[in-house]
Amino acid sequence: TKKAVQIENLSVYYGQTPAIAGVCLDVDDGGYLGIIGPNGGGKSTLLKAILGLVPKASGTIQIYGQAFRGNKGLVGYVPQFSGLNRSFPITTREVVLMGKLKPGLTPLHKFTGADQEGTEELLERVGIYHLASRQIAALSGGEFQKMLIARALAVNPRCLLLDEPTASVDASSRDQIYDLLAELNTQMTIILVTHDLRAISSQVRTLACLNGHLVYHGEPELSERLV
Ligand code: ADP
Ligand code: ADP
């Protein structure tokens, strides 16, 4: 099977201590990997390493067979903390449009009409087309997460990384987000960091458990023994 992500012997350091050490992990193209593990186990760090956002790492990461060179475009990212100030006066549509910013472009970049149209499509795809003109301050937790997913899709990724996307959403939005992820998985590889056991058992095809190193990688059915 073709691999979306291949990680060999990855260690990531913040200062002297490794946050993760010697991790080997691969993800099939079209796969759906769930990542679980205790707080501080290195789950977010692993996602950030795949995105090239960690300062000090050793080992190799290949994305669709290419050595990692900040493979933006191949990989979309829904961070745990978006860095977006909820009181900032910006609309849902504008946040999603920013997802189209390429490295090196500033927010003063003039977007084309095609960029704008693409944004409407993305909003529709995640089910928040009707919220396009709403200020982000007025979005619910679930709507905000869907907006972040739409923003991540703006690069047209082959692989989508999500860090606890259901952490602060109500139960019905959570179900909608998991339905959306299942649908997106028919088009792209998904790597999901979660504490939500339901997501693990019902959707995820493989499971990784991290606690500084890889504790487990395999069938999701075994997850109940791990957490
Ligand atoms: P998880 O996502 O599993 O909770 P993290 O990847 O966030 O784990 O963190 C792994 C370890 O790295 C923890 O010990 C955490 O304190 C440390 N860490 C994470 N980010 C930083 C950072 N920016 N600076 C220093 N230490 C960090
Ligand atoms: P933390 O979880 O440590 O608070 P985030 O995960 O929100 O931080 O973001 C970490 C870094 O990733 C930030 O510098 C942010 O600008 C950057 N970032 C956010 N989204 C993307 C993306 N789609 N592609 C590349 N980098 C991103």
Taking the CA of 50 as reference, the closest ligand is 2
Q: Which of 44, 53, 97 to mutate to test the pocket of ligand 2 (most atoms within 8 A of CB)?
A: 53
**pTM: predicted TM-score of the whole model, two decimal places:** 0.87
What letter does residue 7 receive in the DSSP assignment?
E
Render pLDDT for 6-44 as a digit per residue (tens, 0 to 9): 999 999 999 888 999 999 999 999 999 999 999 999 999
**Strand residues in 64-117 grouped as ranges (E):** 66-67, 75-78
ipTM of the complex: 0.73
Tell me which residue has its CA closest to atom 12 in ligand 1: 19
Render pLDDT for 54-92 as a digit per residue (tens, 0 to 9): 888 999 999 999 887 766 678 999 998 888 888 999 999
Return all residues near 117 (Cβ < 8 A) that are at least 6 apart: none
Task: Tell me how far the alpha carbon of residue 79 lies from the centroid of ligand 2, in angstroms.
Answer: 6
- What is the spatial distance between Cα 185 and Cα 121, in angstroms, rounded to a whole number? 18
